[in-house]
A = this chain, B = another copy of it.
Amino acid sequence: SQKTINPNYSNRGMTLEEDINESNLYYLTNGIAVIHKKPTPVQIVSVDYPKRSAAVIKEAYFKQQSTTDYNGVYRGKYIDFEAKETKNKTSFPLQNFHEHQIEHMKAVVKQGGICFVLLRFTNSDEVFLLEAKHLFPYWDESIKGGRKSIPKKIIETIGYHVPIHLHPRIDYLKVIDHLYFNQ
């Protein structure tokens, strides 16, 4: 894939999540797509119900998302993805993913949903879109004792460079247009 990064728009200390949220808000506001991050799941242990005011959660724990973080609709199609970043320069570690996320992505692909991961190499500030179907063989290999990461050179070949703009910051639907809508 070609480099499409404009250094003027480089990531100024924003997390991948913040950049994606900004992009989703851009898509939503402009009537392009309806894609949201799911709320962080929390295991609630104890709640106080003070008189005449809102319930207060007094003890709770972060749980792992049982699915991916983002989903929604674009041109009638179901969109589902997970976003991860790494400080590594030459490969993307697979332990960033969890078994149940991969299982969820496999189920989505079976249902004909558009499913992918957004991978950011923070050091070079590059974001790649990798279709879930290309992630699965590397994941399956890794849990069989194989390599625990995907070389960046391979991601550059089977993945797609995501254009970085001012708005939307991470324009991943451009890649989806190319892959699924011949545009």
Chain A positions near chain B (C-beta within 8 angstroms): 28, 31, 33-34, 36, 38-42, 44, 54-63, 65-67, 71-80, 104, 107-108, 110-113
Q: In the complex, which residue of chain B has the Cβ closest to the Cβ of A113? A: B73
Measured in the bound complex, the distance between the Cα atoms of B62 and A44 in whole Å is: 11
Q: Which of B33, B40, B78 meets A73, CB within 8 Å?
A: B78
Task: Given the known inter-chain contacts A28-B107, A40-B42, A62-B57, please indicate yes or no for A34 contacting B75, CB distance below 8 A.
Answer: no
A57 is contacted by which of B33, B61, B77, B112 (Cβ under 8 Å)? Answer: B61
Number of this chain's copies in the assembly equals 2
Q: Return chain B residues, CB-CB under 8 Å to A40.
A: 39, 42
Alpha-carbon distance between A34 and B80 when the two chains are bound, in angstroms: 11
Q: Which residues of B contact A34 (CB under 8 A)?
A: 104, 107-108, 111, 113
Question: A45 CB to closest chain B CB, in angstroms?
Answer: 9
Q: Which listed residue, B33, B39, B61, B107, touches A56 by the CB 8 Å rule? A: B61
